[in-house]
Amino acid sequence: MFDPHKIREDFPILKRKVNNHPLIYFDNAATSQKPRQVIEAIKDFYENHNANVHRAVHTLSQEASELYENAHEEVAKFINAEGMEETIFVRGTTEAINLVAYSWGLRNLKKGDEVVVSLMEHHSNIVPWEILASINGFSLRYVGVNNDGTLNYEDFENKISKRTKIVCFSHVSNVTGVVNDVKRIVKIAHEYGALALADGAQSVPHLPVNAKDLDIDFLAFSGHKMLGPTGIGCLYGKRELLEKMAPYHGGGEMIREVSYDPKKKRCSISWNDLPWKFEAGTPNVEGGVGLMAAIKYLKKLSMENVKAHECALTEYAMRRLEECKKVKIYGPKNPSVKCGIIPFNVEGLSSHDVALFLDNYGIMVRSGFHCAQPLHQIFKLNSSTRASFYIYNTREEIDQFVEVLKEIEQV
């Protein structure tokens, strides 16, 4: 296990005060803070290696290309993909899911087909499928959630059928922190001949994730939630699937050849190799470099330790929150089935009031639907307050959080 107090020294922002109080950052499910190592890697890129990547012969471009390719390799190793061909860099989880929807879904889903989606999803794993369903005419089947926020596997087995072409679900819920049994879902999906897509936005930053072992077909995640910069994320896809898929963004970088046929008066196009086929235009090189630094940082800590630290914090926070009589926590009571996310409300107050009150004391939490309105409908909630932890959070911060919540209860 690592010492979070020591880790905090790497994060410049954690030294600042907010509203005259030391910053307590509990909004990690929205985005994580960045260590000096990531900030410096980006600075070093711009100060020493900046150039556009690929298809240039000069030294700087060669250096930038190498860094960008190394970043793909680093990501591939981190999730145990077969190689960088299986890791497509995108802006984030949302773009990764849209890539699958439009590159694969647009050409493979038709009337009579079904897509199975869970009701605990972030909107980014609902909206692209709803848009596509309205274009292609396939059906969406939503899998229910139990009262404790866990996935209703029985309902999943009832909803999946031979008509199902893909099942889409989060590895970890961004509202409750519930960890879904990916292996079980993937196995069932494959038995029906369907593909499986996991939204890994809340899992890849917090748990060891092994794409090959999970046998997942697509895995989407964001760099900014795992210490990396914003605007960079990854779509993992099995190579054989990605090879069959056509890109949905066209432009430079993603082609091998564009040749004009004067007879046909058209251009014929051949695609570049993976992963570049799906990365049209000048890519986010700096983002890739930052993400690589972030992964190196996490690997040094070991993802097993990251998971253990967050589980211990969650367990401690849930125990301490029992002291707050007006605080109601949603989701499973057993911390071992979830990641470091705690959704709650304070009786008589809106989630926004709670978040503003905590902000007074320098404590940053999120309030609202957290882009998961259907799940809030199931819980019959107008909104919720969400505290989410990461590697640099401490028990002392949770103590302070609980003390402020006790004050809020007096309002």
- Sequence length of the chain is 411
How many beta carbons lie within 10 A of that of residue 170, not counting itself? 29
CB closer to another protein, 170 vs 385? 385
Q: CB 355 → another protein: shortest distance, Å?
A: 9
Member of 347, 352, 396, 399 binding another protein (CB under 8 A): 352
Binding residue (CB under 8 A) for another protein from 144, 208, 368, 374: 368
Provide the CA 286 distance to its chain's centre, in angstroms.
19
Give, in degrees to the nearest 5, the angle at Cα 296 between 208 and 73: 85
CB of 73 to another protein, least distance (A): 38
Distances (CA, A) of 293 to 70, 173, 274, 357: 11, 26, 23, 35
Residue closer to another protein, measured from CB, 257 or 347 = 347
Nearer to another protein, 336 or 410 (CB): 410
Assess 356 for contact with another protein (CB under 8 A): yes
Q: How far is the CB of 346 from another protein (least distance, A)?
A: 13
* C-alpha–C-alpha distance, residues 140 and 116, integer Å: 6
Residue span binding another protein (CB under 8 A) among the ranges 53-61, 187-195, 251-259, 360-368: 360-368
Rounded alpha-carbon distances, angstroms, from residue 163 to 123, 170, 254: 24, 21, 33
Near another protein by CB under 8 A: residue from 1, 9, 13, 19: 19
Nearest alpha carbon to residue 219 among 286, 141, 125: 125
One-letter amino acid at 155 equals: D
Tell me how far apart the alpha carbons of residues 226 and 233 are, in angstroms, rounded to a whole number.
10
Tokens 């432009």 correspond to 251
- The yes or no reply on residue 107 touching another protein (CB under 8 A) is no
Region near another protein per CB under 8 A, out of 198-206, 250-258, 263-271, 379-387: 379-387
Q: Which is nearer to another protein, 19 or 302 (CB)?
A: 19
202 binding another protein? (CB under 8 A): no
Query: In the complex with another protein, which residue's Cβ is closer, 136 or 360?
Result: 360
| 367 forms part of the interface with another protein (CB under 8 A) | yes
Residue 339 is among the residues annotated as catalytic for this protein? no
Query: Which residues are CB-neighbours of 332 under 8 A, at least 6 positions away?
Result: 148, 149, 150, 176, 178, 338
CB of 204 to another protein, least distance (A): 25
E strand or H helix at 81: none
Q: Is 46 exposed, middle or buried (0-12, 13-18, 19+ CB in 10 A)?
A: exposed
d(CA 149, CA 137): 30
- The bridge status of strand 195-199 relative to strand 164-170 is parallel
Site for another protein (CB under 8 A): which residue of 28, 32, 351, 393? Answer: 351
* Closest distance to another protein from the beta carbon of 345 (Å): 11
3-state SS class at 69? helix
HSE-CB at 33 with a 13 A cutoff on CA atoms is 24
Nearer to another protein, 396 or 407 (CB): 407
**Is residue 383 near another protein by the rule CB under 8 A?**
yes
Segment contacting another protein (CB under 8 A): 6-14, 58-66, 139-147, 359-367?
359-367
- Asked if residue 353 binds another protein (CB under 8 A), the reply is yes
The answer to whether 359 contacts another protein (rule: CB under 8 A) is yes
Let me know: does 141 contact 169? Beta carbons within 8 Å.
Answer: no
Strand order in the sheet with 341-346: 327-329, 341-346, 384-388, 366-368
Tell me the C-alpha distance between 380 and 375, whole Å. Answer: 8
Spatial CA neighbour of 204 closest among 119, 293, 299:
299
369 near another protein, judged by CB under 8 A: yes
Nearer to another protein, 34 or 366 (CB): 366
Nearer to another protein, 73 or 353 (CB): 353
3-state secondary structure of 254: coil
Total residues in contact with another protein, by rule CB under 8 A:
20
360 binds another protein (CB under 8 A): yes
Give the shortest CB-372-to-another protein separation in angstroms. Answer: 11
- Tell me the three state secondary structure of residue 167: strand
Told to check if 382 binds another protein by CB under 8 A, we report: yes
Q: Active site residue: 234, 267, 339, 371, which one? A: 371
Q: How far is the CB of 242 from another protein (least distance, A)?
A: 35
Active site residues: 371
What does the binding site for another protein look like in residue numbers (CB under 8 A)?
19, 350-353, 356-357, 359-360, 367-370, 376, 381-383, 407, 410-411
